[in-house]
Amino acid sequence: EVQLVESGGGLVQPGRSLKLSCVASGFTFNNYWMTWIRQAPGKGLEWVASITNTGGSTYYPDSVKGRFTISRDNAKSTLYLQMNSLRSEDTATYYCTRPWYFDYWGQGVMVTVSS
Amino acid sequence: DIQMTQSPSSMSVSLGDTVTITCRASQDVGIYVNWFQQKPGKSPRRMIYRATNLADGVPSRFSGSRSGSDYSLTISSLESEDVADYHCLQYDEYPPTFGGGTKLELK
């Protein structure tokens, strides 16, 4: 059974950092690109970052480029999202999923950026 | 970026209705459109992939179709468990982009 389990969310002040994790199981992690999607409260879904299966390439929208870093540890079947210089508009539930398929999603982890 | 214009943004429905939600792509995205169902406090659930394919475990009352740049999700004989938010997604080209969502509410 495929499972994606996110962790690391919480309340953080503007300008501070937070690192999210997503532990994968039930599939061969190093065969798949991975991505982070977020959803602000009461809003739609927004792509945040993607990484190739080897970790050799990463992709970001302009809204997070230079502040967020996606990475992975294939030995641990774990995806990460390092979020720096957080802003109030980064407040959202963050999900990990497999792009090109978007078939399995984690349960989501809430990040609240507020003073 | 490719825009996915989803309509309607909300819809008042009755049990047994046939419901159709549409996304219009701003440029050609081929078959690379998924539809998701999302219930409050839950993760999105893939319902349709590659525009017309029913995802595993999804009831057959759900269907997806394409007409040019318009992609539609149809729910036949709406059941109470279908009342939720629905989102379309194009993943033909980076960045992947979502429609604005459709909220189904019972009359």
Judge whether A50 is closer than 8 Å to chain B, CB to CB. yes
Instruction: Sort out which chain A residues have CB atoms less than 8 A from B99's CB and list them.
Output: 44
Q: Which chain A residues touch B87 with a CB distance below 8 Å? A: 44-45
Distance from the Cα of A73 to chain B's closest Cα (Å) equals: 23
Kindly tell me if the per-residue pLDDT of A21 is higher than 90: yes
- Count Cβ atoms below 10 Å from residue A21 Cβ, excluding itself: 17
How is residue A40 written in tokens? 């602000």
Q: How much is the mean pLDDT over chain A?
A: 97
Please report which confidence band the pLDDT of residue A57 belongs to, taking 50, 70 and 90 as the band edges. very high
pLDDT at B48: 98
The backbone torsions φ and ψ at residue A44, rounded to the nearest 5 degrees and listed phi first, read -85, -175
Percent of chain B with pLDDT over 70: 100
Kindly report, residue by residue over B8-60, the tens digit of the pLDDT.
Answer: 999 999 999 999 999 999 999 999 999 999 999 999 999 999 999 999 999 99
Predicted local confidence at residue A100, as pLDDT: 86
Of chain A, the percentage scoring pLDDT greater than 70 comes to 100
Residues contacting A79, CB < 8 A, separation 6+: A21, A22, A24, A34, A36, A51, A70, A71, A72, A96
Are residues B101 and A108, on separate chains, in Cβ contact within 8 Å?
no
* Contact call for A45 and B98, based on CB within 8 A: yes
Which one of B9, B36, B39, B43 would you mutate to disrupt binding with A, by most A Cβ within 10 Å of its Cβ? B43
Residues in chain B, total: 107
Task: Name the residue among B55, B87, B91 with its Cβ closest to that of A45.
Answer: B87
Is the preceding peptide bond at B44 cis, omega within 30 degrees of 0? no
Which chain B residues are Cβ-neighbours of A98 within 8 angstroms? Answer: none
Which whole-number Å values give the CA distances from A60 to A31, A71, B70, B86, B96, in the listed order?
A: 20, 12, 27, 24, 11
